[in-house]
Structure 1
Amino acid sequence: MEASGENAAGPTESLESVQCHDHASEHKGLESQNRNVPPPEANPFMQPFMQQFIDIMQRMAPQPQPRDAVIGKNYEVVRRQGAKVFAGTTDPAEAEEWLRNTERVLDRIECTPEQKLRYAVSLFEKDALDWWETIPGSKNRPITLTWNDFLKEFADKYTPPVYRNHKKVEFLELKQNELFVAVYELQFVRLSKYAAEEVSTDELKRDRFERGLRLEIREKIAIKPPSYGALLEAALRAEDTSLERSSTEAKRKRLTGNLNPIPGQSGAVSFRGSGLQRGWYRGRGMGQTSRSPSVSSGRGGPNSIGFGGRQGPTRSFSGRSIPSYAN
C-alpha cells in the first residue's frame, strides 16, 4: 500500500515540474525575440530641428552669476527705484524721512532682512558711514547684525529718545483749534507713531481724535461714529455745514450793511448812480444844464442841494428837505 501511495505522488510532482519548465522556456523565448528586434531608426529629417530646439533651450536657461555681480546689480536697482544716499544729519525729521523712503524702496523690490541691511548701509557716505563703522559687529564678515539691529542703532543715533518724547507730548496735546479738519487729521496721523500705545486700537484712535476736535464740530456729530474713519467723515461733513452757514451769514451782513444809513450821515441823499449824476436834470427848464449838483451845508442845512450857488426854498419829500427852483 505504501508503494502505491508513493507511486501516486510521483506522477503529480513530475507534471508540475514539466509545467514550470514549459513556462520558463516560453519567457526566455520572448526575451530572446525582444532582444533580436532592432531599435527604430531615427528620422534623418527631424534631427536638425531637434538639435536646434535643444540649442535654443540651453541659451534661454538662466546662467549662474557670481554672487558679487548679483549684489552689485541690485545696488543699482535700489538707486533707480528712488533710494537716496545718506551723509548724516542733525535734523531728526530729515533722518526719519530718509529711512522711510529707503524702507519703501526695499519693500518694493521684496528684499530679505539681510539684503535690506546690506542695501541700506550701501547708501551711507561721509559722516553716516563713519558712524556706522563704529557700531560693534558692523565690519563682521559674514554680517552678524540684523535689520532690526540696524533700525535700533539708527533711531538711537538720529532720532534720540528726547526727540521722540517731545513728539509724543506734541501728539498728546494736539488740538484742532483753528485748523481745518483735514489738516488736523494729517498732523494727528503724523504724530501718532510717537505714541503708538495711544492708538493701538481703532476705538482708542477714534476717541483720541474726537477729543481734539473743536467743540462746534463735536456738537454737530449727534451719534458717536462706530470707527475712526466714520468719525473723520462725520467731522468733515460737519465742518462743511459750518463753513456754509458762516458764508451765508457773512453775505447777509454785507447786504444789510449796504441798506443801512452810514453813521453820521443818516439824512444825506446820495446821487451816486442816479439820473442827476448822469444829467437827468438837464432840459428841465432850470437853466443849469452845464453845472453839476453839489451838496451844501449852508442855510439850507445838511440836506439842501445847491446848483452854482443858487439856493431856493425847500420842500419836504419823504422826510428829506429838497430845494425847489423856479423855472
Structure 2
Amino acid sequence: MVRIERIFDVMDCLDDRKLRLATFLFEGSAYDWWRSVQSKCVDPSMITWGEFKDDFNELFYPRSYKTDKQNEFLRLVQTSTVAERFEYGLREEIRSVVTASGYENLGKLVEAALRVEKSLSERHGGQQQMRPKIGSSS
C-alpha cells in the first residue's frame, strides 16, 4: 500500500481515482475481499480512499503485525543510540579509528574497539621495551 501511495503522489492522483486504480491491481484474496465490500455497499462509489485504506489495513495488516513492526523499529533506534553512545565514549585515539570503520552495529563496534585497543597497547608496549631506561648504564 505504501508503494501504491508513493506512485499516486508522483502522479498527483486525486482520492476518487486512487481507489479505482489501487483495486484494479488487486489479485487473489485482496480482489475477493474488494468484491465482497462492493457487493455489501448500496453505493460503492461512496467509499472514500481513507475508509478504504483503513479497512484494507485492518484486514491485511492486523494490529499484531503493526505492533511487531513498531517494536522492531524501536529496537533498531535503541540499538543505534546505544552504539552511538558507546562510540562517543571511547578514547579519542580509539574512537577515530573505530568511527572510520563505519560500523553502526554495537557488537561490531565493540569488536573493532577491542582490536584497536589491543593494537595500540602492543605498539606502546613495544616502544617501551625498545626505549632505554633513564639512569641505566647500558
TM range, smaller chain: 0.5 to 0.7
Q: Is the 8 A contact 2:38 2:44 kept in 1?
A: no
Q: If each structure's helix is expressed as a fraction of its own residues, which one has the higher value?
A: 2
Match of 1:241 among 96, 100, 110: 96
Per-residue CA deviation, residues 122-154 of structure 1 (Å, 9 max, x unaligned), is 101222111111225676656110000111011
Aligned CA distance change for structure 1 residues 137 and 219 (closer, same or farther; 3 Å): farther
Determine if contact 1:137/1:145 at 8 Å carries over to the other structure.
Answer: no
Instruction: Give 1:111 deviation, angstroms.
Output: 0.8
Distance in 2 between the 1:103 and 1:156 partners? 17
Distance in 1 of aligned mates of 2:40 and 2:125: 74
- Structure 2: how far apart are the matches of 1:123 and 1:132? 11
Q: How far apart in 2 are the matches of 1:148 and 1:169?
A: 25
Matches within 5 A, 1:1-327: 99-135=1-37, 143-174=45-76, 175-176=78-79, 184=80, 212-214=81-83, 215-217=85-87, 219=89, 241=96, 243=98, 246=113, 248-253=116-121, 255=123
AA aligned to 2:86 is: E
SS of residue in 2 equivalent to 1:124:
coil
> Structure 1 residues 138 and 100 mapped into 2: Cα distance closer, same or farther (>3 Å)?
farther
Tell me, in whole angstroms, the C-alpha distance in 1 between the residues paired with 2:95 and 2:57.
Answer: 41
For structure 1, the 5+ residue unaligned runs are 1-98, 177-183, 185-211, 221-238, 260-327
Paired with 1:140 and 1:242, the residues of 2 have a C-alpha distance of 67
Q: How many residues align?
A: 109
Residue 105 of structure 2 corresponds to none
Given the two structures, how large is their TM-score scaled by the length of structure 1? 0.28
Q: Say if 2:18 and 2:49, in contact at 8 Å, map to a contact too.
A: yes
Query: How well do the aligned residues superpose, as a CA RMSD in angstroms?
Result: 3.6
Sort the Cα spacing of 1:218 and 1:249 in 2 relative to 1 into closer, same or farther, 3 A. Answer: closer
TM-score (norm 2): 0.59
Q: 1:127 to 1:141 in 2, by over 3 A?
A: same
Determine what percentage of the aligned residue pairs are the same residue.
27
